[in-house]
Amino acid sequence: MLHDKGRTFRVVESTMQELGYTMFSKVLNSGQFGVPQHRERIYMVCFRNDILDSRTFRFPDITLTSSLTEVLEENPKDAKIIERPDIQIYRQPGQRQDGMFEKVLPNRPLQIGIVNKGGQGERIYDPSGHAITLSAYGGGAGAKTGLYLIGNKVRKLSPRECARLQGFPDDFIIHPNLQQAYKQFGNSVTINVLQYIVSEIARTLGLCRQ
């Protein structure tokens, strides 16, 4: 989030202050807002200083439980299946480290295997947990979506599944080009998070009941 030790952030904050705004900021994880994706991003909300009660603004603080299984398509035609000899699965979905099985909703990614050496884009995850952060770029067999053991097959996520991970409804029209679709959702902001933030802005401004 603060890739340059916060220098850009401080410039943005000081500029908004010079323009007469009070800025609030917080790192939020999409996985807390009802979508099964680990996605930490910094959010900034600014109020003009002449707006009353802006100091009462607070970012939403909730934790909703979700699982990647909730957004999976039954038979996606455009989710790449990985078939290669260097796949290593060291734990089955739902299996704990002690070998016992249970239905778990951990609200975080659970790595259960690797492809090749297990570098970025080469890790395999349990669909009962969360997806890793969608990305517009990146390499490896699971580039942009990560890899998941689903129905005894290791595969990437489909564009529709990625859309759901960002809070888009199923009637949202996805770009017909596969790579452009992945790039679109990797660059997107999670709708669920924005909805909760907007509700808090409305509460602060007295536009809705608390």
> pLDDT tens per residue, the chain (210 residues)?
556 778 999 999 999 999 999 999 999 999 999 999 999 999 999 999 887 667 789 999 999 999 999 999 999 999 999 999 999 999 888 777 677 776 667 899 999 999 999 999 999 999 999 999 999 998 899 999 999 999 999 999 999 999 999 999 999 999 999 999 999 999 999 999 999 999 999 988 887 554
pTM score of the predicted model: 0.90
3-state secondary structure the chain: CCCCCCHHHHHHHHHHHHCCEEEEEEEEEHHHECCCECCEEEEEEEEECCCCCHHHCCCCCCCECCCHHHHCCCCCCCCCECCCCCEEECCCCCECCCCCECCCCCCCCCEEEEECCCCCCCEEECCCCCECCCCCCCCCCCCCCCEEEECCEEECCCHHHHHHHCCCCCCCCCCCCHHHHHHHHHHCCCHHHHHHHHHHHHHHCCCCCC
Extents of the domains making up the chain = 7-65+189-204
